Amino acid sequence: MATEVIRHTDAASAAPPEGEADRPRASRRLPLLPLVCGLLLALLISVPAAVGVGASGVPFGEAMGFLRAGLTGGVVAADDVPAYTIVWELRLPRSLLAAVVGAGLAAVGVALQAMVRNALADPFVLGISSGAAVGANAVIIFGAFGMLGVWALSGAAFVSALGAMALVYMVARSAQGLTPLRLILTGTAMYYGFSSITTLMVFAAERGEAARSAMMWLMGSLGGATWQSVPIAAGAVFAGLAYLALSTRRLNALAMGDETAAALGLDAERFRRELFLLTALVTGALVAVSGTIGFVGLMVPHAARMVVGADHRRLLAVAPPAGALLLVWVDVASRTVMAPVELPVGVLTAVIGVPSFLLLMRRRGYSFGAA
């Protein structure tokens, strides 16, 4: 049956959506390989370029020298140690984490939109992010989980994200299985429930700085990036991407509906459970290190779909590097627009995402979820 799924889903992914058969599709498709190579090249240039930008500017040449010294174990002059510390210890892990988080949010957004067959789905539709916020705020405001030391914030956020995932799963599951509608409704209800708890926690904070830190985390921030947090987030994202890359044909089938998927030999209920677990774990890992950064997982899949079509093989090749590139430069803007004050990353992604989404809605001929 596996070969049957591959054959039929290939044909289905190539078929134009209803009402678009009379419009030439080739004009709306860019060659995939040059596009992906261009995005990866831009990302490869952007990460080292971003480390020289900030409240304390470091010339590009000096920044490259510091990066070479850090990578090769070279010697840095005593006068350059402060600038080297800024570049190597603060900005480089931050830029790398921005790339990892952006790629992960975009990939999870693609998977979720196929899983629940809803064009408005993003990595936070399941209530996992707001659940993680409860644990993070308990650390920031009340000092909970102090025994974990530097891992208290991310550890508490991830554990509470897992708790939220389990709760959503138990409530959403019914005799009919894990249906898209129940997932969305349950996730939305849990989102508001957990958000109300975090709001009460912020109001209960006795220290103004604790409340400000909690709000900063809730709106997304990469300011806490360290060399320890980057590999953890990267491992979760790469594992998720590997699974999704091996599941593109099943994603194509699932996006066409459970009945069609069953006719093609796919167990939609089982695959949806797998996707739920995967997206929840990756989202929890990302939220634990970056807070709640919205719109990346919603907008990037739509933008990629406009360029390369609805086939998940093409979507998952384009969306992650595009999300990574976007978040690297949004993070740069967050620390430079009002320097030395740092803006929450989630605020800037919303500033970019809201008008972009509205323009996308107005774009003639674009069909949400099936470009």
Here the tokens at position 102 are: 């952006």
Greatest extent of the chain over all pairs of C-alpha atoms, in Å: 69
- The set of long-range contacts for 87-94, using a CB threshold of 8 Å and a minimum separation of 24, is 87/51, 87/52, 87/58, 87/63, 89/227, 90/225, 91/50, 91/51, 91/52, 91/54, 92/47, 92/51, 92/67, 93/225, 93/226, 93/227, 93/229, 93/230, 94/222, 94/223, 94/225, 94/331
Q: Give dist(CA 233, CA 238) in Å, integer.
A: 9
Contact of 32 with 307, CB cutoff 8 Å: no
Contact of 76 with 64, CB cutoff 8 Å: no
Per-residue pLDDT, 6: 47
Write phi, then psi, for 153 (nearest 5 degrees).
-65, -55
Contact of 195 with 133, CB cutoff 8 Å: yes
Per-residue pLDDT, 341: 83
pLDDT averaged over 10-residue windows placed end to end, the chain, 371 residues = 45 40 47 93 94 81 88 85 90 95 95 86 83 86 71 84 89 82 89 90 75 80 88 94 96 90 90 91 89 89 89 95 96 88 90 81 59 42
Per-residue pLDDT, 54: 76
Q: What is the dihedral of CA 7, 323, 198, 289, to 10 degrees?
A: 100
CATH 1.10.1760.20 fits 2-9+28-362, yes or no: no
Per-residue pLDDT, 207: 66
Per-residue pLDDT, 208: 66
Tell me which residue has tokens 């049956």: 1
Contact of 370 with 315, CB cutoff 8 Å: no
Per-residue pLDDT, 342: 86
Q: Give dist(CA 91, CA 227) in Å, integer.
A: 10
Amino acid letter, 29: R
If we measure between CA atoms, which residue out of 280, 135, 338, 299 comes closest to residue 217? Answer: 135
Q: Give dist(CA 356, CA 316) in Å, integer.
A: 21
Contact of 214 with 205, CB cutoff 8 Å: yes
